[in-house]
Structure formats: structure tokens, C-alpha cells
Amino acid sequence: MQSVSLVKYSKSTDSLKQAIELCDGFSKLKPGDKVLIKPNLVAWDELFPPAPYGVFTTTRMVEDLIIILKEYGCNDITIGEGSVEVKKGVGTMAAFAGLGYTDLASHYGVKLVDFNESKSEKCSIDASTHLMIAKEALECDFFINFPVLKTHGQTKISLGLKNLKGCLKASSKKLCHHPQLNLEYCFPFVADYVKPELTIIDGIYALEKGALHFGNAYKKDIIIASTDILAADIIGAKVMGYEPSDIAHFVTYATRHNKSLVLSDYAVKGEKLEDHIQPLKWDWSWTADNTGPGAFAKMGIQGVALPKYDDTLCSGCSPIANMCNILVMSAFKGQPLPKVEILNGKKMQARPGYDKTVLLGNCIIKANKNNPTIKESVEVKGCPPNFDDVVKALKTCGLEVNEMAYLGYMKQQSEKYNGKEGYDPLYYRASS
């Protein structure tokens, strides 16, 4: 029976040591091994740094892991990630700097690797589809997968299996959002090639409605660990109130590897699972006619339509979709807005009844290239498109959007936990 540890976190290395020991996490580790740690550092924004709680693997716990590895005799340690560049030039290295990982590298002599810049190797999904995976992730001796406890607006939860998507080159990340193959079918294949020896779920904070910081974070103070990635994910899902069989990528992975999704087939060691279950929401509400988020109905917004995102919307474009929601709300003055439909992702199709159709990004432009329903197309090119071009396109359609409303919203989201009890920024800085 596969063991999974569930440990209460305390502000010392002892709790992480206990979590590793209870699941025999270092059973295959040798002191001379080339160790790679893969945290979850989704994306960065230097103007409005994301509120980190539940979004990023805590710097503090990564530091604890480095200390434990050093005590074990491991000195060849690399931290690798492939953060999304929502803004050009602001990616993995900016996230490393903003979250104190560069300080860890300097103090402990560990290496930092940006998977976006790495050489990669072709790994097949099927005869005609492949993923490009960073070589460092494939060539290390001992891979430690270090995700965060969070729900996700496309996949319900984002834990160990989902975290490995960061090992992909940018083109393969986008391919995972394939309009036919399905997101939750694609990304579990990364685990087949990377094969993490240990998965540790950082549950100091848990994030509701992730993956970015627009949802709500809760203090949990738990650690989940296992040498089996699916086992760790199953317990993480249960902690957040989800049945393993209801998570599509669990089913995909378990079926392919003949693994069980039945909780009783796994041995939880340490804390009692039932003492830590806190159901968290994953989905955002939308209007009944699919014209915008629930806030549109509350405000009485009519005329404009922003259909709900689907699983083809890439991480790079997802902030653009959210930005449009805020900008449209800023344009509403109590009267119906112009008949404009705003589309994103890779497969949405324009609907009849709109005077103009805004197509956000190269993928949706291509998907609607020959759509006869469109009266007038307003194309916003880019992968992802930039802020100024989106604002210009919306104004061209007669929407009097206020850019400052969005900037104010981003500032509020960045600062929303400041000074609140339990939300300690020191978790995201190196103690050394």
C-alpha cells in the first residue's frame, strides 16, 4: 500500500523532515545525486507583484528542503521552473528574484534554471503529437516535485501532476491547451517522462479559485508528501474537498498506469485526513446566457458579451481575459453597452447578434478566420496580445473603458493581504 504523509507545518525544518521520513521519501536518494527541485512559480509581474499566498511554493519551505538535502550530503542541487511570461521579458528569473530564490542560490550554492531557456527533448504523447521537455528535468538523478495546494479554474485542482507542466517549453505548454486533445489529457504525460521520485505539496496556504492570485488564500499549515505523485495528489484533492474520480487528469493518469483512485488503497501517515478537509471552490460563476462573469448580472451590464473561458485558454492569455472583464465593467454607466462580443482561447466561435467581434490573440483569430457570423472583426494580434492593443481595440468598438480601473484592480489584488493576520510575507523570502 502506497504511503502518503500528512504533517502539520511548524516554523522549522522538523515538520518537512517528518513528512519526508513518514513516506520514506529519500529511500532512493544518494548523496552524490544530481537533485532537481521543481516549485510552482506560475508567473510574475514587477509592477504589481502577485499576492503570493497559495500561488507560489513558499521560499521558506524550499529553503527547508535545501537544508535537509545538504544535511543528507547532497550538494548538486538545482531549482528549475518555466514561469509564463505574461509580460515580455518578465518570466522565470524575475520570479526567482522577486521571491528570494536568487538569495537561496547565493547562500547555499544551488543553481537556478529557467526551463524556458533550456535545451529540450521530444517526448511523445502519441504517434503524431509530442511535448518538448527541458533536459534538466529529464537528466537529473532525483526529481522533487514541489507544488502548492490550490484549486484551478480549468482543471478543478492544481497539484503535482499539473505542476509538471512548467517543465515544458512554451510551445508545448500551449499545445497542452489543444482544442481537440484536451488539456487534462495532455499534461499528465509529462509525469511519464520526468518521473518525480518525491512529490511534496506545500500547504502552508491553500488557494481557492486559482491558479493566480485573483482567488482567495487560506492558512492551512500542512505538508503532504509521497514517492507516488498520484497518491500525493489524491490526498491533496481530498483536503480541498474533491473526490479523486471527479478530477479528469487523475482519471487519465490512473487509467494509463493502472493505478487506483480509491482512497482506502493509500496509507495516510501522520495527521488524520478528516481533521484537515476544507472544501474550496474552483469555478467562477458566469451569466446564464454566457455573456460575462456573475458580476455582470449583478451590475446589470447588457449589450457586450464575454463568453466564459474554456480549457484552450493558455496561461499567457488568461490575464488578458480577466483584464477585459474589468475594463468592460469600467465602461458601464447604467445604459446598455455596444453590441460587441469578445472572444479568447483557441476554439470559441462568434455568435450572431453582435455588430463587432473582438478576437484576442493569434489563436482565436485563426479559429474564426472564415466565420460567416462575424459582421466586423477587430483583431488583436499577439501571443499574448499586449495591454495597450487590447484597450485600443475595445475603444474602437465604442467601449469607453478606463485603463486606471484595471490598474487599480491589480494594485488592490497585489496588496489585499497586507497587514492581515496569518499572511506573513517572510514565507516568501530567504531567511539567510
Cα angle for residues 178, 184, 186 (degrees, 5° grid): 55
**Residue 1: which pLDDT band, with cuts at 50, 70 and 90?**
confident
Reported in sequence order, the residue ranges of 62-138 that DSSP labels E, i.e. its strands, are 76-81, 111-114, 120-126, 129-134
Q: What is the pLDDT of residues 227-253, one digit of tens each?
A: 999 999 999 999 999 999 999 999 999
* pLDDT value of position 123: 95
Average pLDDT, the chain: 96
Task: State whether 76 and 48 are in the same domain.
Answer: yes
Helix-strand-coil split of the chain, %, nearest 5: 35, 25, 40
Phi first, then psi: give them for residue 140, nearest 5 degrees.
Answer: -75, 165
Question: Considering all CA atoms of the chain, what is the largest pairwise distance in Å, rounded to the nearest integer?
Answer: 68
Q: Which three cell numbers stand for residue 23?
A: 513516506
Task: State whether 261 and 347 are in the same domain.
Answer: no
In the chain, % of residues over pLDDT 70 = 100
Task: State whether 72 and 194 are in the same domain.
Answer: yes
* pLDDT value of position 180: 87
- Beta-bridged to residue 207, according to DSSP, are 150, 217
Cβ-based neighbour number of residue 275 at 10 Å:
9
Task: State whether 204 and 115 are in the same domain.
Answer: yes
Cα separation of 191 and 202, whole Å?
Answer: 19
* pLDDT value of position 132: 97
Task: State whether 270 and 301 are in the same domain.
Answer: no
Cα separation of 109 and 103, whole Å?
Answer: 10
Residue 432: pLDDT above 80? no
Q: What is the pLDDT of residues 52-88, one digit of tens each?
A: 999 999 999 999 999 999 999 999 999 999 999 888 8
Q: What is the pLDDT of residues 246-284, one digit of tens each?
A: 999 999 999 999 999 999 999 999 999 999 999 999 999
Contacts by 319-322, CB closer than 8 A, 24 or more apart: 319/43, 319/86, 319/212, 319/384, 320/344, 320/360, 320/361, 320/384, 320/385, 320/390, 321/360, 322/214
CA-based R_g, the chain, Å = 22
* pLDDT value of position 181: 87
**Residue 89: which pLDDT band, with cuts at 50, 70 and 90?**
confident
Do 149 and 205 contact (CB within 8 A), yes or no? yes
Q: Is residue 167 part of a domain?
A: yes
- pLDDT (mean) for 196-212: 96
Q: Determine the distance from the C-alpha atom of residue 50 to the mean position of all C-alpha atoms in its chain, rounded to a whole number.
A: 13
Boundary (domain end) residue, out of 259, 282, 305: 282
Boundary (domain end) residue, out of 282, 302, 324: 282
Q: Is residue 289 part of a domain?
A: no
* pLDDT value of position 44: 95
- pLDDT (mean) for 14-30: 98
* pLDDT value of position 213: 86
Cα separation of 313 and 115, whole Å?
Answer: 21
Assessment of whether the complete model's pTM goes beyond 0.85: yes
Domain total in the chain: 2
Whole-Å CA distances, 389 to 174, 320, 359: 21, 11, 12
- Beta-bridged to residue 131, according to DSSP, are 123
Cα separation of 89 and 104, whole Å?
Answer: 22
Q: Is residue 419 part of a domain?
A: no
Task: State whether 99 and 234 are in the same domain.
Answer: yes
Q: Is residue 67 part of a domain?
A: yes
Q: Is residue 197 part of a domain?
A: yes
Classify residue 197 as exposed, middle or buried by CB count within 10 Å of its CB (0-12, 13-18, 19+). Answer: buried
Residue 211: pLDDT above 90? no
Q: Which residues contact 419 (CB under 8 A, 6 or more apart)?
A: none
* pLDDT value of position 212: 85
Cα separation of 273 and 223, whole Å?
Answer: 12
Boundary (domain end) residue, out of 227, 261, 282: 282
- Beta-bridged to residue 149, according to DSSP, are 206
- pLDDT (mean) for 354-372: 96
Q: Is residue 126 part of a domain?
A: yes
Q: Which three cell numbers stand for residue 113?
A: 534554471
- Beta-bridged to residue 210, according to DSSP, are 152
Q: Is residue 424 part of a domain?
A: no
Cα separation of 396 and 184, whole Å?
Answer: 37
Phi first, then psi: give them for residue 155, nearest 5 degrees.
Answer: -120, 15
Q: Is residue 429 part of a domain?
A: no
- pLDDT (mean) for 395-405: 96
Task: State whether 185 and 252 are in the same domain.
Answer: yes
Q: Which amino acid is at 288?
A: A
- pLDDT (mean) for 308-330: 93
Task: State whether 111 and 223 are in the same domain.
Answer: yes
Which range marks the domain in which residue 203 is found?
Answer: 2-282
Task: State whether 165 and 49 are in the same domain.
Answer: yes
Q: What is the pLDDT of residues 96-148, one digit of tens each?
A: 999 999 999 999 999 999 999 999 999 999 888 999 999 999 999 999 999 99
Task: State whether 392 and 271 are in the same domain.
Answer: no
Task: State whether 363 and 221 are in the same domain.
Answer: no
- pLDDT (mean) for 380-407: 94
**Residue 396: which pLDDT band, with cuts at 50, 70 and 90?**
very high
* pLDDT value of position 316: 84
CATH number of the domain to which 130 belongs: 3.40.50.11440
Task: State whether 273 and 301 are in the same domain.
Answer: no
